[in-house]
């Protein structure tokens, strides 16, 4: 069963509540990439993993590549994504539309269709996902990895009551009988803070608000007690108050259950509020990855710096917002070398020679930029 989460346009938070607007980094323009004190010269070889840990990762993605067949030719979409998420960790995945954030997880869960070519490796603990049988991947979806998408109205069946749909997910993943599944459905609605849960079980989706339907989708996602919840823009189209409530609910559930969270968003305020670590994607590649506090206080890739510079600062007297000129290149029409080169104020001829690899600059901070070590 599809489980869905929603996301709305960017949530902006004040400087004292999120590192995204921290006074430690208040850019007035897209400057040369930041370089902290000390030796941060990149290593000569890419690090084999994005995070050095003692315990095995909950999920480990290596060299994930996705392409589609279009008009008789192969169009590459993802160009070798590496990502690890630990048990209980919250990882934010940020970037403009068209950067490949959602495609990454749809590929992992086998939801891209037959025209997609998916290569690489995705291991959920000791199980390889990408070459799993249809029966095996069905057992993984919802039960070990649940995903909620942007629009709950497209996932909830308008012809069935809320209770029927939640109980169906419970019965599927927990193997409960009809009455037990109904009781568990009521408990799940209460868990996601839906008032009058017994009455809401009898309601149809059109009788609930967008925020309530989103809570229903979170309840459905929790029915399988997943190890990892992937939230794809979970607050789109919600007003600011409801958006904050949904985000707080996700944070609370994560702490209580110990599950990991992969939060996909274009909203840096939400990412800063929820994530332990942030991965920035551009044109199908990871261009920067770091702990959340470090990424917002000391971004090193020009694209990341541009995204942060575009955030409104409530303490600033400057009414104008910074903007990154241009748009994300169309799939299959990437420029030579660095994909961000046509939009970068610091690009040079060397940036066109080769795609910069994702290299470690300081502990836990990885950047794909030839000029990331420039003072």
Give the pLDDT confidence score for residue 24 in this predicted structure: 32
Give the pLDDT confidence score for residue 191 in this predicted structure: 96
| DSSP per residue, 162-227 | HHHHHHHHHHHHH---HHHHHHHHHHHHHHTT-SSHHHHTT--GGGS-HHHHHHHHHHHHHTT--S
The DSSP symbol for 111 reads -
Number of domains observed in the structure of the chain: 1
| CATH value at residue 349 | 3.40.50.300
- Domain assignment present for 194: no
Strands 365-367 and 73-85: unpaired
341 three-state secondary structure: helix
pTM of the model: 0.82
Give the pLDDT confidence score for residue 43 in this predicted structure: 43
Q: What are phi and psi of 270, to 5 degrees?
A: -65, -45
pLDDT 10s digits, 335-369 = 999 999 999 988 889 999 999 999 999 889 999 99
Domain containing 103 equals 15-43+55-154+228-241+255-367
pLDDT (tens digit, 0 to 9) for every residue of the chain, 375 residues total? 444 333 333 333 333 333 333 333 333 333 333 333 333 444 444 444 444 445 689 999 999 999 998 888 999 999 999 999 999 999 999 999 999 999 999 999 999 988 899 999 999 998 999 989 989 999 999 999 999 988 888 889 999 999 999 999 999 999 999 999 999 999 999 999 999 999 999 999 999 999 999 999 999 999 999 999 999 999 887 888 999 999 999 999 999 999 999 999 988 989 999 999 999 999 999 999 999 999 999 999 999 999 998 888 777 666 677 888 889 999 889 999 999 999 998 888 999 999 999 999 988 999 999 988 653
Residue 333: how many other CB atoms lie within 10 Å:
8
- Domain assignment present for 10: no
- Domain assignment present for 1: no
Rounded CA-CA distance 358/42 in Å is: 10
Give the pLDDT confidence score for residue 260 in this predicted structure: 97
- Domain assignment present for 131: yes
pLDDT 10s digits, 221-256 = 999 999 999 999 998 878 889 999 999 999 999 999
- Domain assignment present for 191: no
Q: What are phi and psi of 127, to 5 degrees?
A: -115, 125
Rounded CA-CA distance 191/195 in Å is: 10
- Domain assignment present for 325: yes
Q: 224: exposed, middle or buried (C-beta count within 10 Å: 0-12, 13-18, 19+)?
A: buried
Give the pLDDT confidence score for residue 212 in this predicted structure: 95
Give the pLDDT confidence score for residue 55 in this predicted structure: 67
Can you tell me which residue has the tokens 């290596």?
A: 62
């Amino acid at each position: 069963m599809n489980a869905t989460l929603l996301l709305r346009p960017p949530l902006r938070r004040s400087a004292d509540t999120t590192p995204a607007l921290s006074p430690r980094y208040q850019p007035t323009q897209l400057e040369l990439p930041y370089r902290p004190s000390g030796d941060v010269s990149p290593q000569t070889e890419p690090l084999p993993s994005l995070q050095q840990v003692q315990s095995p990762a909950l999920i480990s993605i290596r060299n994930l590549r996705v392409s589609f067949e279009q008009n008789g030719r192969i169009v590459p979409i993802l160009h070798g994504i590496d990502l690890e998420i630990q048990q209980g960790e919250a990882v934010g995945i940020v970037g403009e539309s068209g950067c490949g954030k959602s495609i990454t997880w749809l590929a992992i869960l086998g939801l891209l269709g037959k025209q997609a070519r998916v290569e690489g490796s995705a291991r959920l603990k000791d199980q390889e996902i990408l070459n799993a049988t249809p029966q095996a991947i069905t057992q993984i979806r919802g039960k070990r990895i649940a995903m909620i998408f942007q629009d709950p109205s497209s996932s909830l069946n308008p012809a069935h009551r809320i209770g029927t749909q939640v109980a169906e997910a419970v019965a599927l993943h927990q193997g409960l009988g009809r009455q037990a599944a109904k009781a568990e459905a009521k408990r799940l609605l209460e868990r996601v803070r839906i008032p009058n849960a017994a009455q809401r079980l009898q309601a149809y989706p059109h009788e609930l608000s967008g925020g309530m339907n989103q809570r229903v989708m979170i309840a459905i996602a929790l029915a399988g007690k997943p190890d990892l919840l992937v939230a794809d823009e979970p607050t789109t189209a919600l007003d600011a108050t409801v958006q904050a409530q949904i985000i707080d609910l996700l944070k609370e559930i994560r702490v209580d259950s110990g599950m990991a969270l992969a939060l996909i968003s274009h909203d840096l305020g939400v990412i800063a509020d929820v994530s332990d670590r942030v991965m920035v994607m551009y044109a199908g590649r990871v261009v920067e990855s770091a702990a959340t506090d470090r990424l917002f206080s000391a971004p090193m890739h020009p694209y990341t710096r541009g995204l942060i510079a575009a955030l409104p600062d409530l303490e600033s007297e400057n009414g104008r917002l910074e903007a990154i000129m241009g748009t994300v290149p169309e799939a299959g029409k990437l420029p030579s070398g660095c994909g961000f080169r046509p939009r970068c104020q610091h690009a040079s001829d060397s940036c066109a020679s080769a795609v910069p690899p994702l290299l470690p600059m300081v502990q836990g901070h990885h950047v794909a930029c030839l000029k990331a070590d420039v003072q």
